[in-house]
Chains A and B, each alone.
Chain A
């Protein structure tokens, strides 16, 4: 059993991480932080850099949460990665951040969050970024 949080270095990602830490403390569960990229472009702003990743590690350690960091470059969407991991670890909860998107934007770009919400076997906590 574990809690999985999808992390991206954005306000939404930070909000998701905050909520996930709270939940982990509350439930006394191990927290698995996932950050992934399809690795198709040379620069991916949603892929955490070394310094950012280290600060996440630091925050979790400070919060006293049993945690694990997973960074993946496998050419799969973040949603697929998180769902696969949730299945493997038999996750108790998935925490994700939500971006503001217009309906048309969602139609065109699709939504990682939507995929997770619809396909996850466990409860999903969707958090909005602080405006």
Chain B
């Protein structure tokens, strides 16, 4: 038995020394490409998956939220008159959180598509992410701020000084990532126990910018189970590894504005992207993660 303990110790000791490169070949399946899921939208945004892998997205100008059934692939209207709801994300309570631009609210939609909870009012929210304890972070690009609404409903600014857009949490919930529409990097923050964000760093980078663009156009993000971050940009879906290094760019499904991404489908085996008037998906080698539930597990384990 000692020999085994010895070896396991050695394996653990060796592991951090590895380069842990994460090339695109680890995630893309040869021969697989984007397939059309739905079309005819004015501006598709905010794809988010529930714990079963059903994908919800919004047509912002039309004030509609759609649902893609994970079994049939059928797209149906989930909610109407959504006041130009933009960013969407599920919370640990199973509700669909959304940023309503028109009436300046952050709300949570129930399974019936009706507003079940109002999280914040009088705010210019663009995108959001929900932590495993129910705290909500949302971006305010016009105000150059990231806001936090704690589980008791109190809201405060937790980061400022850049143009935030997409927000995502690492699968363990300990680090928040924010895109910066104007800069060639993504910001990371340490999530404090009270929800505050500390120690900002332009840690992911460089985000690729191809001329004639002068800004990356970084928008929505998602994460996979291994911790890669996927960010929608002008040149495509840029992938970053767990050390903040670029792994590469997945090409856009069409020459149009790529706004956001999420993993979804049964087992979270597909990557979904919203690209202007359409939503696409492709099968991946790596699975996504319903990170609010996995973070819950991580926290449970630690307790």
Q: Do A and B come from one complex?
A: no
